[in-house]
A and B are shown apart, each in its own frame.
Chain A
């Protein structure tokens, strides 16, 4: 019967056509060993696709990884996390500091004297004379100056512009060859402790409209600050660094990159890093000078930003592109430019091809200033699923793989691959809302921390892939003080500490104080199995010492918007991922404890505030480290968080990949690849080669 036959024939036909395709598909063999190109190609996998191949717009990790290959910044961190020059050959950090001559004040050292005499004294007695003032290079007197400036009052809708006439008095400029945040404190020993604080600029400022006296005072302080630090970074660019299209990188490109970041149309997520910049000046084609409004030591790091080619993205170039696309030029910005999907930079790899959600292909840049990389091609495949990534690694169609914690024990033993491990930048913690009693008592916070066995969490939840952490700095940096011991696991001690704080066991077994039971809710976000496990462990640990703990798992955006941002929680489990720089202002300073701010636990300590400000104003590494150690000790003492652990990462890679180091005499030596403090193993990527056979290294 025809219909019956047809019904059987159709599925057979479909199946056979599908299965027949097996005989044509290239095997893994053809892709790897059978493919000579495979040796000069590095393939890595990423779980998500890139968004913008433009360093000033991207903020996700896949984009950053590719941008790091295509673009190059002025500086970056070397394997010991010190800065080293890239596009910049060298740089110099110095400062100009200013203060207004205070006519009313009597100086401690020289009595009452006029501006010219003060400048003369400073010059004669300080410059090049005393060891304390070695770094002071010049003192100049700037004459009084009157000017009219426009100023915006109020914010947002109520903003209005007013004209202000400013009669600035004589000013003294001090030029220092290094930044000194204590400069004015030192000067106070000569000029008197109140010399700067008694400077009253209010009578010197004349706004066009009548202002209330407090507003006028604030305005005057803002327009004529008694003292100003202007740190300056002067970069000397390396000659002969070229973009992939052959144009040389000049100071104009640096200026352009800065302007592009600050252009409000581009809404660059990087702009806050550059807010303290007062101006960027091109001195000559290879020199650029950056003047800052105030002391801000994290500034240097921001010049690791990839340099954009001005000639491809300036207003004329964008106008041409807008016209070709039929969009009015004023509505068109860098954000919409096709540059973001076929970028040109000056880094070691040139952009080739991007297939959305499939792969991004780069090829090496032969004119790279440091010498072309050994690999001819760099490919990032987008493979969302870790299991398929793993299968592709076994097959040899990707070269490295980030191992999940539970796989480490098994895969580290795999003789087919080399493996690397290191400490991540970031940590998990339990944060307590210090606005709510009893969390305002450091003894209670300490006791809660002591009741939790972090070692067991690391062992069983993290499969051993974590390390204890005692404070807010990345563990592999100098800023972290390894001498500070972690909280001991000591439930008995915790009970004793709580008793000291007034929490004693009640008749029902729960701790209580003034007839109130110790009870609170611990929350975290849903979808993170590690935090979920910690939630249960902490609840159980605290129950054992007599605390009643409710737990709640919330969807991420509800968790952030309704609870964290609104400061509506007792205790929460979260993690921070960090950069290298030790600036902790947003997370720990007491001015950041409001709604929508990041010091949501409400940690507030004047001593810590002072240290946080000193850290972000200190340009001397050793001194900064000393401040950081003090702050670390203070935070460990206060226990605003129970610091839990920092993750360890592990990666597998093809055993045949090694570092090829060329000595000056041309001899080639092979070295094994090792992880660096930067948190990766790819630091020497440009030297990597894949050998046909895995080499053996002596242990």
Chain B
């Protein structure tokens, strides 16, 4: 166990190093200049452009830039080119904004997918199964922004309440409960939208897993020996069907820093997605690289967590 952890950690550090090099190269090799340099602004003389490049060390060779950046990152001194504010502080602020959206979205996805998928599997090819299949494909194929617009127009015109931003704008001096509920309400639409695709996909997955398990000999044996259906499906079958989902749980971690650009832009949500998107548009390299690095760390941590969880839930698996 310990040797597994040790080896795994070393492997992941090596991977992380390569990820950092590759992501650095990809970003540097992509065309474009930091937004401070506007090539079509008549006022930008070559001297100014040169001075800006110097300040940001863009005149140095790539490996020097790489070292300078990672030195800044690990000493916590890396600042955004957009406004000279510390990148880690900016990311932390956006992370806190995106976190509730992520939690509620994940809750919705995971609580809905299971009952829907299991029922579809049990009543395979029945009207319920067919209609959920249809709805799932509908939800998967509908463009997120379009669905969002429809929901916003419906809610705003029919219910006459605000939906954008993290809380209602301009209403102050409310009690803590109203404040909390207000924030909760503003989570509803974006997280529902964020979860629809997830529910559609995950419930399909649950269904196919259940179907596979239900077809197994031991389920037939359980049924044959007279156990009631609920006990067969929800105890014997479900426990075995759950195995692959345990690994998926580890893969949720990177989502913490992802955030959705489209949902956040439509709902004016000041989250991670918008930060990253604007950083890419403005070629704000420190922000892009930091987010990239953190998500790489989270992906690697996620795989480690999945491995460990797998070991816990399935005693047959031994990690060597």
Are these two chains actual partners, yes or no? yes
Contacts from A to B (Cβ < 8 Å): 1, 3-4, 7-8, 10-11, 14, 17-31, 35, 37-38, 41, 43, 48-49, 51-52, 59, 264, 267, 269-273, 275, 335-336, 340-341, 355-359, 379, 381-385, 387-388, 391-392, 394-395, 397, 555-558, 560-562, 564-565, 585-587, 596, 598
- Bound CA–CA A26/B171 (angstroms): 8
Q: Confirm or deny: B102 has a beta carbon within 8 angstroms of a beta carbon on chain A.
A: no
- In the complex, the answer to whether A382 meets B268 with C-beta atoms within 8 Å is yes
Give the one of A20, A385, A555 with max B CB within 10 A.
A385
- In the complex, the answer to whether A1 meets B231 with C-beta atoms within 8 Å is yes
- In the complex, the answer to whether B161 meets A558 with C-beta atoms within 8 Å is no
A contact residues around B43 at 8 Å (CB): 269-270, 272-273
Q: Confirm or deny: B83 has a beta carbon within 8 angstroms of a beta carbon on chain A.
A: yes
- Bound CA–CA A273/B44 (angstroms): 10
- In the complex, the answer to whether B165 meets A358 with C-beta atoms within 8 Å is yes
Q: Confirm or deny: B1 has a beta carbon within 8 angstroms of a beta carbon on chain A.
A: no
Identify 23 residue pairs between A and B in the complex whose beta-carbon atoms are under 8 Å apart, listed by A's number: A17-B184, A24-B177, A26-B174, A28-B161, A38-B170, A43-B170, A59-B36, A59-B41, A269-B41, A269-B44, A270-B43, A272-B45, A357-B268, A382-B270, A383-B268, A385-B266, A391-B153, A391-B164, A397-B170, A557-B33, A560-B40, A561-B32, A561-B39
Contacts from B to A (Cβ < 8 Å): 30-33, 36, 38-46, 48, 51-52, 55, 79, 82-85, 90, 93, 104, 107-108, 111-112, 114-115, 118, 149, 152-153, 156, 159-162, 164-166, 168-171, 174, 177-178, 181-182, 184-188, 191, 230-231, 234-235, 238, 265-268, 270, 274-275, 278
Q: How many A-B residue pairs have CB under 8 A?
A: 187
B contact residues around A43 at 8 Å (CB): 169-170
- In the complex, the answer to whether A25 meets B161 with C-beta atoms within 8 Å is yes
- Bound CA–CA A269/B43 (angstroms): 8
- Across the interface, B234 reaches (CB within 8 A) one of A4, A52, A341, A387, namely A4
Q: How far is the CB of B105 from chain A (nearest CB, A)?
A: 11
- In the complex, the answer to whether B160 meets A28 with C-beta atoms within 8 Å is yes
Across the A-B interface, the 7 shortest Cβ-Cβ residue pairs: A24-B181, A557-B32, A357-B270, A586-B42, A1-B230, A21-B184, A21-B185
A contact residues around B159 at 8 Å (CB): 22
B contact residues around A382 at 8 Å (CB): 268, 270
- In the complex, the answer to whether B83 meets A26 with C-beta atoms within 8 Å is no
- In the complex, the answer to whether A14 meets B168 with C-beta atoms within 8 Å is no
A contact residues around B235 at 8 Å (CB): 3
A contact residues around B170 at 8 Å (CB): 31, 35, 37-38, 41, 43, 379, 397
A contact residues around B160 at 8 Å (CB): 27-29, 395
Q: How far is the CB of A324 from chain B (nearest CB, A)?
A: 15
- In the complex, the answer to whether B32 meets A51 with C-beta atoms within 8 Å is no
Give the one of B83, B112, B174, B234 with max A CB within 10 A.
B83
Q: How far is the CB of B38 from chain A (nearest CB, A)?
A: 7
- In the complex, the answer to whether A264 meets B42 with C-beta atoms within 8 Å is no
Q: Return the chain B residue nearest A562 by Cβ.
A: B31
- Across the interface, B48 reaches (CB within 8 A) one of A18, A267, A336, A561, namely A267
- Bound CA–CA A30/B30 (angstroms): 49
- In the complex, the answer to whether B31 meets A558 with C-beta atoms within 8 Å is yes
A contact residues around B55 at 8 Å (CB): 267
- In the complex, the answer to whether A357 meets B274 with C-beta atoms within 8 Å is yes
Q: Return the chain B residue nearest A30 by Cβ.
A: B171
- Label chain B's interface by main secondary structure: helix
- In the complex, the answer to whether A10 meets B111 with C-beta atoms within 8 Å is yes
- Across the interface, B185 reaches (CB within 8 A) one of A25, A381, A388, A596, namely A25
Q: How far is the CB of A66 from chain B (nearest CB, A)?
A: 13
- In the complex, the answer to whether A384 meets B115 with C-beta atoms within 8 Å is no
- Bound CA–CA A96/B43 (angstroms): 27
- In the complex, the answer to whether A51 meets B82 with C-beta atoms within 8 Å is yes
- In the complex, the answer to whether A383 meets B51 with C-beta atoms within 8 Å is no
With known contacts A11-B115, A384-B268, A560-B39, A392–B164 Cβ distance under 8 A: yes
- Bound CA–CA A122/B316 (angstroms): 108
Q: Return the chain A residue nearest B233 by Cβ.
A: A4
B contact residues around A264 at 8 Å (CB): 51
- Bound CA–CA A521/B218 (angstroms): 69
- Bound CA–CA A31/B107 (angstroms): 31
- In the complex, the answer to whether A24 meets B185 with C-beta atoms within 8 Å is yes
Q: Return the chain A residue nearest B42 by Cβ.
A: A586
- Bound CA–CA A3/B241 (angstroms): 14
Give the one of B32, B153, B234, B268 with max A CB within 10 A.
B268
Q: Return the chain B residue nearest A356 by Cβ.
A: B270
- Bound CA–CA A444/B191 (angstroms): 58
B contact residues around A556 at 8 Å (CB): 32
- Across the interface, B31 reaches (CB within 8 A) one of A41, A52, A275, A555, namely A555
- Across the interface, B39 reaches (CB within 8 A) one of A22, A341, A381, A596, namely A596
- In the complex, the answer to whether A28 meets B185 with C-beta atoms within 8 Å is no
- Bound CA–CA A271/B230 (angstroms): 76
A contact residues around B90 at 8 Å (CB): 356
Q: Return the chain B residue nearest A333 by Cβ.
A: B84
Q: Return the chain B residue nearest A49 by Cβ.
A: B278
- Bound CA–CA A558/B31 (angstroms): 6
Q: How far is the CB of B239 from chain A (nearest CB, A)?
A: 9
- Bound CA–CA A388/B163 (angstroms): 9
With known contacts A1-B234, A25-B161, A388–B111 Cβ distance under 8 A: no
20 more CB-based (< 8 A) A-B contacts, given A28-B161, A382-B270, A391-B153: A7-B114, A11-B111, A14-B111, A18-B187, A21-B182, A25-B185, A25-B186, A26-B182, A31-B162, A31-B170, A38-B170, A49-B278, A59-B38, A272-B44, A357-B275, A385-B265, A391-B164, A561-B39, A564-B39, A598-B42
Q: How far is the CB of A479 from chain B (nearest CB, A)?
A: 16
Q: How far is the CB of B184 from chain A (nearest CB, A)?
A: 4
Q: Return the chain A residue nearest B166 by Cβ.
A: A358
A contact residues around B108 at 8 Å (CB): 11, 14
Q: Return the chain B residue nearest A565 by Cβ.
A: B39
Q: How far is the CB of A315 from chain B (nearest CB, A)?
A: 18
